[in-house]
Structures are given as C-alpha cells and as structure tokens.
C-alpha cells in the first residue's frame, strides 16, 4: 500500500485536532506549524475533511477547525477515504470488479483480500486509538510482529 502525502497529512491534521484539549476551534496555521504541513495543502485537505463530515469549521476571529464527531467515532479509514477515495483499487477499479484470464484468474480474490486486510486495520482504528497508542487487539498484534518492522530484503523479511 502506498500512503499518499495527502492521506498522511490528513491523518496528522485530524490527530492534531483530536489531541487538542481546548474547546476552541484550532487555526489551520497552528495545525500546519505543529505537524509541518504546508499551509496551502493543509487548507485544501481540511476542506475535503469538512465535506466528508470529519471536521467542522467556524468562521471569524475565534474560528478554526474541530472534529465533527468524537475522536472515538472517526476511523483512520474515514480520514483516508475523505481525501483519497477508496482504500484499495486496481487501475482505478474496485478489486471485485477486476477480471483476469488464464494463470491470473484468481488475482481478483487476492486484491479483495488485500482490501479486506486494509479495512481490518484502518476501519477499526480510531483517531482516539492512534493518539493513545492503545490500538485494537488485532492491530496491536500485527504491529508487534517482529517481521512487521522489517523491510523486504532486510533480515529475510518479505
């Protein structure tokens, strides 16, 4: 899976909003400074997150951004889908819509399984989980596996 800069920035911006202890909306400039996200890119991301009902905005001198729902109710998948669309696609198609012939005919099943695996992690992990570091058991188990931290070509990991 390739995580786009946009998705990475969106998750970081959402976690910044989720981690705030203030009841006041947070200015985009503050999020930008805290996370090192270019302000113009962040503003576009925040607008997409607003359209997806992940964040809400308030205008005026005391305005800014806040989460639209509690952090426990916003999954990482919600944030990624808001800015990048579906979690997994193959050449722009949904995995279940792909068709292959011959020796590759079972590839559709593999792409569907890859999407299911992504969903398993990203839909079950909330912004609150990410901030606390207390992940759902399945996510923690995957993360705790020694091979999860190894890149292919290093120490035999694949």
Nearest partner of 127 among 57, 77, 61, judged by Cα: 77
List the chain domain ranges. Answer: 5-145
Instruction: Give the predicted TM-score (pTM) of the model.
Output: 0.88
Which of 87, 82, 90 has its CA nearest to residue 119?
87
pLDDT by residue for the chain (158 residues), tens only, comes to: 789 999 999 999 999 999 998 889 999 999 999 999 999 999 999 999 999 999 999 998 888 999 999 999 999 999 999 999 988 888 888 888 899 999 999 999 999 999 999 999 999 999 999 999 999 999 999 999 989 888 876 555 55
- Just give the CATH number of 5-145: 1.10.10.10
Predicted pLDDT of residue 154:
57
Q: Please give the pLDDT value at position 56.
A: 96
**71 touches 129 (CB < 8 A):** no
Q: Please give the pLDDT value at position 80.
A: 97
Using CA atoms, how far residue 147 sits from 23, 37, 144, 157, in Å, is: 41, 31, 9, 6
Q: Residues 55, 82: contact at Cβ < 8 Å?
A: no
Q: What is the pLDDT of residue 142?
A: 92
Cα(148)–Cα(158) distance, rounded to whole angstroms?
10
């Amino acid at each position: 899976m390739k995580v786009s800069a946009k998705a990475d920035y969106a998750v970081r911006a959402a976690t910044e909003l989720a981690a705030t202890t203030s009841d006041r909306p947070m200015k985009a400039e503050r999020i930008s400074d805290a996370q090192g996200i270019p302000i113009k890119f962040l503003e576009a991301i925040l607008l997409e997150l607003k359209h997806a009902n992940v964040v809400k905005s308030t205008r005026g001198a005391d305005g800014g951004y806040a989460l639209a729902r509690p952090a426990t109710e916003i999954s990482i998948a919600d944030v990624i889908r808001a800015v990048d669309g579906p979690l997994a696609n193959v050449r722009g198609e949904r995995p279940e819509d792909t068709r292959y012939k011959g020796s590759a005919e079972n590839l559709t099943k593999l792409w569907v399984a890859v999407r299911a695996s992504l969903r398993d992690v990203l839909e079950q992990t909330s912004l609150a989980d990410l901030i606390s570091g207390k992940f759902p058991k399945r996510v923690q188990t995957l993360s705790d596996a020694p091979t999860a931290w190894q890149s292919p070509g290093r120490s035999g990991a694949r």
